[in-house]
């Protein structure tokens, strides 16, 4: 509507220069009628016929002869209507075309037909192509975003069964021995499940709750390994107003137990350091690992690959991740830019000398 309104105004101005002074309502009405009829209606008919009929039906299908044939027919029809209208309907300006059909001056009609209509049709077609390109871009971006969200949901769904499978195995081993510690493990697991089910559907969660999840998990593993595991955890910094993607750090911890500590017969050790500086979170996790002869190369797990994909989707330009592996140690370092909110209180977590997790 805006496009054709602009065309109408253009023809009012253009034809107005060729009209006699607008001293009467009849002349004004004639100007409006001519601008609307020949400036809008005729150009609209020609433009829509080409853009929505000839181009999709013939030009895009490479039927160029039919395209040109129909184009000539449409132009000839418009030319004929223009001549007849100017001679019979609007005789006030008959002197410009001749007093009779035998004395027709076709030059003004040819100028009228081959001047503005191709220009207006080309401009309309250009705007339509630009609009279609923009819609395709929006569609592609929407599709990419939907695919990314679907992939994130899939990656998050992989964390749940993978994580729960290992934890339930631990509880099962204690329940076989009728150990009273099985109840403690179930209680910790219940708190973890409550968090994972009710709060991890959000895009971001309080950093404090993610740290609590890590605490519960490492508490479960501490009960399992007892004093034979040397476990050090140092978590410090300002956690107020900090949010993080849910279940982002726990695969690191899980991986260190599954592929490192659980395969060590003597002196297994794990050291976790998490620090916040401003909006930056730094994580360093090192764990002992068995000798190459003991490693099952086929069992690489999905934890680290999962985290790498999620980092690329959630923090594409705001993360760094480095993995080092020596003969006896596996080290993971990660740095991400945290989001802010005013819903979290500051907390510091440290590990006492007897390796009990304590809030300070």
Helix, strand, coil content of the chain in percent (nearest 5): 60, 15, 25
pLDDT of residue 194: 84
Tokens representing 112 are: 């009228």
d(CA 279, CA 338): 5
What pLDDT score does 258 carry?
Answer: 75
Token pair belonging to 315 = 């923090």
User: Contact at 8 Å (CB) between 236 and 200?
Assistant: no
Please give the helix or strand (H or E) that residue 3 lies within, else none. helix 2-16
pTM of the predicted model as reported, rounded to 2 decimal places: 0.53
With a CB cutoff of 8 Å and minimum separation 6, the contacts of 101 are 87
- The CATH T-level fold of domain 148-359 is Heat Shock Protein 90 (3.30.565)
pLDDT band at 147 (very low <50, low <70, confident <90, very high): low
User: Does residue 350 surpass a pLDDT of 70?
Assistant: no
- Higher local confidence (pLDDT), 349 or 209: 209
Residue 353: the pLDDT is 32
Q: Which residues make Cβ contacts (< 8 Å) with residue 4, sequence separation at least 6?
A: 40, 44
pLDDT at 302 over 60: no
> Mean pLDDT: which of 1-15, 287-301, 346-360 is highest?
1-15
Work out the average pLDDT over 334-339.
89
| Residue 12 backbone dihedrals phi, psi, to 5 degrees | -60, -45
Q: What integer is the mean pLDDT of 81-104?
A: 54
Place of tokens 């519960």: 216
Residue 217 confidence (pLDDT): 84
Mean of per-residue pLDDT scores for the chain: 75
Domain boundaries, the chain: 2-114, 148-359
As a residue count, the chain comes to 360
Q: Which has more pLDDT, 344 or 51?
A: 51
Q: For the residues 311-316, what does the mean pLDDT come to? A: 84
Phi/psi for 147 (5° steps) reads: -65, -40
For residue 93, pLDDT beyond 60: no
pLDDT value of position 188 = 82
Chain centroid to Cα 142, Å, comes to 6
pLDDT at 88: 62
Which pLDDT band, with edges at 50, 70 and 90, does 359 fall under? very low
Contacts of 85 (CB under 8 A, 6+ apart): 37
């Amino acid at each position: 509507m805006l496009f054709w309104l602009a065309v109408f105004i253009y023809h009012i101005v253009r034809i107005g220069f060729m009209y006699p002074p607008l001293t009467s309502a009849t002349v004004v009405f004639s100007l409006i009628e001519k601008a609307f009829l020949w400036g809008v209606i005729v150009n609209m008919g020609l433009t829509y016929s080409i853009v929505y009929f000839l181009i999709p039906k013939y030009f895009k299908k490479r039927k160029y002869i039919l395209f040109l044939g129909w184009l000539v027919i449409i132009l000839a029809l418009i030319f004929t209507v223009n001549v007849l209208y100017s001679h019979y309907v609007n005789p006030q300006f008959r002197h410009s075309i001749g007093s009779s059909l035998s004395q027709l001056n076709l030059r003004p009609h040819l100028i009228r037909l081959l001047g503005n209509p191709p220009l207006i049709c080309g401009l309309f077609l250009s705007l339509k192509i630009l609009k279609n390109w923009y819609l395709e871009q929006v569609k592609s971006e929407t599709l990419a975003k939907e695919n990314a969200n679907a992939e994130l949901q899939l990656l998050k769904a992989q964390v749940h069964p993978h994580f729960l499978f290992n934890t339930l195995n631990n509880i099962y081993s204690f329940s076989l021995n009728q150990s009273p510690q099985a109840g403690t493990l179930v209680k910790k697991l219940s708190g973890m499940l409550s968090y994972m089910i009710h709060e991890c559907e959000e895009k971001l969660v309080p950093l404090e709750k993610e740290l609590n999840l890590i605490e519960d998990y490492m508490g479960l593993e501490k009960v399992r390994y007892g004093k034979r595991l040397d476990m050090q955890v140092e978590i410090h910094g300002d956690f107020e107003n900090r949010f993080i993607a849910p279940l982002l750090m726990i695969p690191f911890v899980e991986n260190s137990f599954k592929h490192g500590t659980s395969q060590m017969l003597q002196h297994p050790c794990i050291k976790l350091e998490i620090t916040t500086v401003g909006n930056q979170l730094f994580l360093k996790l090192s764990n002992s690992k068995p000798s190459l002869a003991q490693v099952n190369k086929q069992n690489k797990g999905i934890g680290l690959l999962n985290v790498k994909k999620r980092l690329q989707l959630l923090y594409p330009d705001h993360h760094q991740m480095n993995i080092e592996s020596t003969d006896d140690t596996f080290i993971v370092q990660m740095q991400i830019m945290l989001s802010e909110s005013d819903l979290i209180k500051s907390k510091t977590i440290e590990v006492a000398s007897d390796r009990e997790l304590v809030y300070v």
